[in-house]
Structure 1
Amino acid sequence: MFNKILIANRGEIAVRIIRAARELGVGTVAIYSTADRDALHVHLADEAICVGPARSTESYLNMNNILSAAVATGAQAIHPGFGFLSENSKFARLCEEMNIKFIGPSAKVMDMMGDKINARAEMIKAGVPVTPGSEGEVHTTDEAVKIAEEIGYPIILKASAGGGGKGIRKVNTVEELVPAFEAAQAEAQAAFGNGAMFIERMIFPARHIEVQILGDSHGNVIHLGERDCSLQRNNQKVLEESPSVAIGHTLRNEITSAAVKSAQHVSYENAGTIEFLLDESSGKFYFMEMNTRVQVEHPVTEFVSGVDIVKEQIRVANGNELSVKQEDVTFSGHAIECRINAENPKFNFAPSPGKITNLFLPGGGVGLRVDSAMYSGYTIPPYYDSMIAKVIVHGENRFEALMKMQRALLEFDVEGVTTNVDFQLELISDPHVVAGDYDTSFLGNVFLPEYQKED
């Protein structure tokens, strides 16, 4: 096993990785920007090293500084977490060249599956269903107009190198296409340094279903069931649960089998997620994309499967076989995750950085977990993502999980900054959500208009 790994991230995911490594007896190195000098992950790691100023481009995205930190501290591997450099094949390739193990898939596989256009082509080869769309990169509005006419409206524009909901636009008519394409392309260029786009026929509304997969270097690939991530705002997930109430036994087997087939086709190693859109009216599902990293919502899968995904990542990167085989994986109960952000839902979810003057995180009972890097007296910097915690619950059934989440959110208390805790509490209590009657259109078209009308 590795003696020491470097965590190329911050916040709750950095804390999560440090804890998993410590339980495996592996030493940890935290990196931090000048704005994160007092962050929890810095205090928890065995070592910590500053990699640059507050701006992420000069610190958490600074490949040279991060690799230099790994060399200086003798780290044998780098865990990228999610976001930042986690899906950057150049960084993975640099790690390989410097004989530092990247805890994730190879750069080659990342190029193949991290790029949406390449991934789509590979899934067609693997026999996995995909939505009608462009066969390659789209760079101009003239190309976009022609392709949209061929596949028919509505369509969705996506950044080829995208993720996190950036560089995406939904287009219903030809009149909307040109301004939407230009805006999405500019956003993609700014976020990823790559303005290449692709176009798909839009399956909307739909269920957003994703399957957690794990693979190792010995040819083993397994799935850990599915998550329903249909509650989204601006293409970003708000609440996730497992299993999905929209899927029966037969369809579950079809989707998870397709996910395993996808991963096997590219000889995938480490943790990854295959995302699908499910058209409930027809019962058909379509490959959307693959995330070649650990997901924010991985804890719900850990609860229902009993598998520690982050520990598996570290073991697999070390060359070990997966600690479980598919026949060993059993699923129990129901899990739900709510993302807690420092933001004001009543004012278009404006970020709310600042000093936390008092903090009480819910606890007590079986099946409740809070992943966070917050503490009383900590100042949330304005430079990074606004997520400050994840509340994850597990119950014997969905109703028990919903009730446990309501109890946990009622106990959650943060003073000094505005959060979305009350918003999440209302969402988890909404009759449609309680009934499992929602899709990707629900939050934006049904829930939010009513919520934001309230005083």
Structure 2
Amino acid sequence: MFETVLIANRGEIALRVLRACKELGVRTAVVYSAADADSAAVRLADQAVRIGPASSRRSYLNAAAIVEAARQVGAQAVHPGYGFLSEDADFAEICADNGLTFIGPPPAVMAALADKSSARALMSRAGLPLPAGSVAPVATAAAAAEVADAVGYPVIVKAAAGGGGRGMTVVRHPAELARAYARTRAAAQAAFGDDRVYVERYLTEARHVEVQVLCDSHGNGVHLGTRDCSVQRRHQKLVEEAPAPALSAATLDAIAETALRGALEVGFVGAGTLEFLVDAEERFHFLEINCRIQVEHPVTEMVTGIDLVHEQLHIAAGVPLRWRQEEIRLHGVAVECRVNTEDPERDFAPTPGRLERFTPPGGPFTRVDTHASAGYLVGPWYDSLLAKVIVWAPDRELALNRLERALEEFDIAGPGVRTTIPFVRRVLDDAAFRKGRYTTGLVDRLLAAPSLPPPSSPLLPPPPSPSLPPPSSPAPAQRSTVTPTPRAAPAAEPDVPNRRTR
């Protein structure tokens, strides 16, 4: 096992990884931006290195500063969490060039799988079913139209390098395609530096089902069952559950076994997730593979009893997989909801502000993953995820009731701050959701319905003129300054790292 792991992320996932490392006796170091100087991860880590200002481009996306921070603290490995550089093959290669273990797949495997078009081609060769559409990117609007005419509308135009729900446009009529094609390419170029797109048939009444896999560097692999992630807004998930409900046992087994076969065929190593769309006839189609820990990983942990971050660390250290498929058993039902600082009444617009009250729920079989506390500043610089509430129960009805109870207990208040809790409670109250017969269209259907008074929520009204204080500065104690100059890494931003050690 590693002696020291650098955590190259922030928020709840940085805290989650830090705790897993400590449980395994591994020293922890975290990087942080000026905006996160007072974060829980910084307080709890053995060492903390400031790598830049609030801007993620100059901090959490600054590969040079992160690698230099790892060298400063003597880390042997880097855990990227999710988001930021977690699926950046170039960053993984830079880590390798500097003698650091990147906790994820090998750079070449990640490069092939991070490109959705390449991943589709690889999985197709491995025998996984794909939605009807183009396997390779389409170079012109005319070529896109040919694909769309062949598979039938509606279609979806997707960025080959996309992720996080970005770089996707649904097209319902031929007259809209050329404009949507151009718009998606421009958005892909701006977001990912890669304007390649592909086109596939859009399944309007489908379920989004994914499979968690663990694969080691010795050719071994297991799957840990399914998760349903169909409750989405703008292709980003709000509620997840394990196992996927209202599907036959034969279908669940087939999806899971197909996912594991695909992962092993392409040489995947680490903790990964293969995502599928499932239609009304329970036919399933491969969408993409995520080469990192997922936001929704806790529901799998709750039904299997397996700590996925522990397994990531063991696999990255070269330890053969500690589980055989016949040893994986699913128990009960787990449901997770994301508590984002967003206003569902304003198209889920972010609502930054300082939290005056923050009291998470408790009770049996209730887990809350969060980095927040009373007084925490929700800034405008990063993702709006504030907390994840995860519950477990022997059956789905009790699990949903337990989540409802937990959300009713959650006390979050701050000037201007709104959360997704009232909307999630609408989801939990929906008859189709309760029966497990929901699809990816659920959120749009609820938003289009007449808005009922939301459940009572302990949120304060916004002030007349909300304003955000500037990011707090790091404490002046025990600093050292080093100019980042890692081998084979791009030049660092001007902001220099400062180390705080405890």
TM-score (norm 1): 0.97
Contact kept in structure 2, 1:139 and 1:195, CA below 8 Å: no
Q: 1:173 is aligned with what amino acid?
A: H
Q: How does 1:56-95 map to 2 (within 5 A)?
A: 56-95=56-95
Tell me the equivalent position of 1:374: 372
- 2:461 matched residue in structure 1: none
Alignment deviations for residues 67-115 of structure 1 (CA, whole Å, 9 cap, x no partner): 1111111111000111000110000111111110000001111112111
8 Å contact kept, 2:2–2:26: yes
Q: Which has the larger radius of gyration?
A: 2
Does structure 1 conserve the Cα–Cα contact (< 8 Å) formed by 2:247 and 2:282?
no
Shift of 1:437: 2.0
Q: CA deviation at 1:409?
A: 0.2
Alignment partners' CA distance in 1, 2:172 and 2:357: 46
Which runs of structure 2 are paired with 1:228-377 in the superposition (5 Å)?
Answer: 228-280=228-280, 282-365=281-364, 367-377=365-375
- 1:382-413 deviation digits (Å, cap 9, x = unpaired): 11000100000000000110111011000000
- Counterpart position of 2:474: none
Shift in alpha-carbon separation, 1:275–1:422, aligned structure 2, 3 A:
same
- Of stretches 393-402 and 182-191 in structure 1, the one that deviates more from structure 2 is 182-191
The answer on 1:35 being equivalent to 2:9 is: no
Q: How far 1:147 moved relative to its partner? A: 2.4
Cα deviation 1:9-58 (Å, max 9, x = unaligned):
10000000000000000011111111111111111211111111111111
In 2: Cα distance, 1:55 partner to 1:126 partner: 40
Aligned 8 A contact 1:8 1:66 in 2: yes
Matched, 1:403 2:391: no
How many angstroms apart in 1 are the aligned matches of 2:451 and 2:60?
Answer: 35
User: Match of 1:130?
Assistant: 130
Q: 2:142 & 2:35 partners in 1: Cα distance? A: 44
Give secondary structure in 2 for the equivalent of 1:54: coil
| Structure-to-structure mapping, 1:109-120, within 5 angstroms | 109-120=109-120
Aligned residue type for 2:312: Q
Q: Provide the TM-score with structure 2 as the length reference.
A: 0.88
Q: Which amino acid aligns with 1:293?
A: R
Aligned equivalents of 2:413, 2:124: Cα separation in 1: 51
Q: Secondary structure at the match of 2:449?
A: helix
CA gap of 1:43–1:179, structure 2 versus 1, over 3 A, is same
Structure 1 residue aligned with 2:13:
13
1:301 match: secondary structure: helix
Cα distance between partner residues in 2 of 1:453 and 1:375 = 30
Amino acid of the residue matched to residue 441 of structure 1?
A: G
**Alignment match, 2:470:** none
Deviation at 1:452, TM superposition (A): 4.2
- Paired with 1:20 and 1:187, the residues of 2 have a C-alpha distance of 37
Secondary structure of 1:229's match?
strand
Mapped to 2, the partners of 1:174 and 1:449 lie a distance apart of 25
Q: Given that residues 96 and 102 in structure 2 are in contact (C-alpha distance below 8 angstroms), is that contact kept between their aligned partners in structure 1?
A: yes
Cα distance in 1, alignment partners of residues 447 and 96 from structure 2:
46
Give the equivalent residue in structure 1 for 2:481.
none
Counterpart in the other structure of 2:383: 385
Once the two structures are TM-superposed, the CA of residue 451 in structure 1 deviates from its matched residue by 5.8
Amino acid at match of 2:217: S
- List alignment gaps of at least 5 residues for structure 1: none
Give the Å deviation of 1:448: 1.5
Which deviates more from structure 2 when the two are superposed, residues 96-105 or residues 33-42? 33-42
**Residue 70 of structure 2 corresponds to residue 96 of structure 1:** no
- The one-letter amino acid of 2:343's match is N
| Structure 1 match to 2:479 | none
Letter in 2 for 1:415: A
- 3-state SS of the aligned residue for 1:148? helix
How far residue 286 of structure 1 moved from its aligned partner, in angstroms, is 0.6
Runs of 4+ aligned structure 1 residues displaced above 3 Å come to 451-455
Deviation of residue 123 (structure 1)? 1.1
Q: How far apart in 2 are the matches of 1:383 and 1:450? A: 32
Pairs aligned (count): 452
Q: Is the contact made by 1:208 and 1:276 (CA closer than 8 Å) also made in structure 2?
A: yes
2:218 equivalent in structure 1: 218
1:157-178 per-position Cα deviation (integer Å, ceiling 9, x unaligned): 1110111110001111111111
Partner residue in 1 for 2:448: 449
**The 10-residue stretch of structure 1 (138-147 or 55-64) with the greater mean CA deviation from structure 2:** 138-147
1:346–1:452 Cα contact (<8 Å) kept: no
Give the C-alpha shift of residue 125 in structure 1: 1.0
What displacement does 1:296 show? Answer: 0.4
Further displaced range: 211-220 or 182-191:
182-191
Which has the larger helix fraction? 1
1:364 Cα offset (Å): 2.1
**Matched residues in 2 for 1:4 and 1:217: separation?**
21
The aligned counterpart of 1:207 is 207
Residue pair 1:228, 1:241 contacting (<8 A) in 2 also:
yes
- For 2:238 and 2:420, how far apart are their aligned partners in 1? 10
| 1:277-308 Cα shifts (integer Å, max 9, x gaps) | 0012x221111100111100000000001110
Q: Which has the higher contact order (CA 8 A, sep 6+)?
A: 2
> Are the equivalent residues in 2 in contact too, given 1:300–1:335 (CA < 8 A)?
yes
Unmatched 5+ stretches in structure 2 = 455-502
Percent pairwise identity: 47
